[in-house]
Amino acid sequence: MKQVHEVRIYESDRGRGRSSDVGFDYILLTIVLTISALGLIFLNSAQYDKYADHGVRAMIIQVAGIVIGVALALLLNFVDYGYLRNLSFPFYIINVALMLAVFIPGLGSSSGGSRSWIDLKFVTYQPAELMKPAFIIVAAKYIERIREEEITTEDFVVLLISFLIPLALMFLQMDLGMVMTLCVIFIVMLFVGKIKFKFRHIAVLAGVALVGVAFVWKFYLNSTRRARIMAFFQPEKYPEYSLQQTRSITAIGSGKLFGQGIGEGSMNTSNKILVKLSDMIFSVIGEEGGFLWCLIFVGLFAALLIKMISISSKARDIFGQCIAAGIFAMFAAYIFENLGMNVGILPITGLPLPFVSQGGSAMVTNFISIGLLLSISKRRKKGVFV
């Protein structure tokens, strides 16, 4: 076993030799900063009539999240992501502890039916946000080990448990959107890692999935949550639960080609767009910026996702490929679900729009993920055009 371990270190070191540092990824950072800057414009408009101070305090928190996030991203850029192999489990355990802390009376707080936040008095923090990159790093470590060696039951069990623990905590916090996102991340990472499971492992995964779906529908979803899902398929039968999506679609349609103008949206200024600061921020963009600004945002998000795929494909090792793929899956799930529920083609799950929706902890986490990508991109394989 000692000999196999030495081979693994040797292969990783040899990969570093091929890659070296190929420079800072200005394109990636420019895309996310552009989205963040444009997002501030529409978020400020959405907040203006929502708070007594016209959203000044909320904007300060949002800008602070961007500043702190960018600083952390730049710091991570200078750190070789390979060192995260040894830090993955401590980082993971800390985030599990923070997720458990939301259940402590007086410390955890609820919003929208989910108990997912820690009340820090001056700001709230959602531990599940940072749990996603923590899980991605741990999963990448074990996927790499499985690829370099034959899969063992021990590795399979650790990988599965590392997935099920945060999944269970997200279930307990009643955050279905996070649950769906984590599942997408896990599936994409297994696909990119090209894991060849043994039949018994596939049977266990299939069994867990089937039991999970049955459990969710029977015990996890109460009558209200079931009605919200059914409202997507039969909005006329559940008008009280389809109102949020109906108004979002109306707002986007009323923006037409060029929009009603920043701060001039009739449904935005009258607060008729429900949950417009997070879930439905894209409807504010559609109403006030019109189809043109919607297209600009979609184009920027598409460029971001394509860039993430490129970074994953050029990573120097399996560990980097899987981390980048997991981050891509996380952002893709958020972007597709948020845009889809705003235009009425997907049910509402409460996922915010990255770099645009209100949320300081989400903003910092998003930039930490970007920092990991910067580190992977900086140490990617050398090719003809790099």
Contacts 24+ apart (CB under 8 A), 239-248: 243/274, 244/274, 244/275, 244/279, 244/280, 244/348, 245/341, 245/342, 245/344, 245/348, 247/272, 247/273, 247/274, 247/280, 247/283, 248/273, 248/274, 248/280, 248/282, 248/283, 248/341, 248/342, 248/343, 248/344
pLDDT at residue number 16: 45
pLDDT at residue number 339: 96
Which residues span the domain enclosing 32?
Answer: 2-378
Cα dist from 377 to 10, 315, 317, 370, 382, whole Å? 21, 7, 12, 10, 10
Q: What is the mean pLDDT of residues 254-282?
A: 93
> Burial level of 182, CB count in 10 A (0-12/13-18/19+)?
buried
Flag the least confident range among 80-94, 146-160, 268-282, 300-314: 146-160
Instruction: Please tell me the total count of domains within the chain.
Output: 1
Q: Which amino acid does the sequence have at 120?
A: L
How many Å apart are CA 279 and CA 380, to the nearest integer? 35
Residue 166 inside a domain? The answer is yes
Cα dist from 306 to 210, 290, 313, 352, 374, whole Å? 32, 25, 11, 20, 14
CB count within 10 Å of CB 67 equals 13
Flag the least confident range among 64-78, 159-173, 327-341: 159-173
Q: Helices 153-172 and 127-148: crossing angle, nearest 10°?
A: 170
Residue 384 inside a domain? The answer is no
Q: For tokens 């899980």, what's the residue?
A: 135
- Beta pairing class for 114-119 and 124-125: antiparallel
CB contact set of 132 (below 8 Å; sequence gap of 6+)? 178, 181, 182, 185, 330, 365, 369
pLDDT at residue number 25: 94
How many Å apart are CA 61 and CA 244, to the nearest integer? 26
222 band by pLDDT with thresholds 50, 70 and 90: low
Give the mean pLDDT of the chain: 86
Residue 145 inside a domain? The answer is yes
pTM beyond 0.85, yes or no: yes
Give the helix/strand (H/E) hosting 260. none
How many Å apart are CA 149 and CA 362, to the nearest integer? 36
Query: Is the confidence at residue 22, as pLDDT, over 80?
Result: no
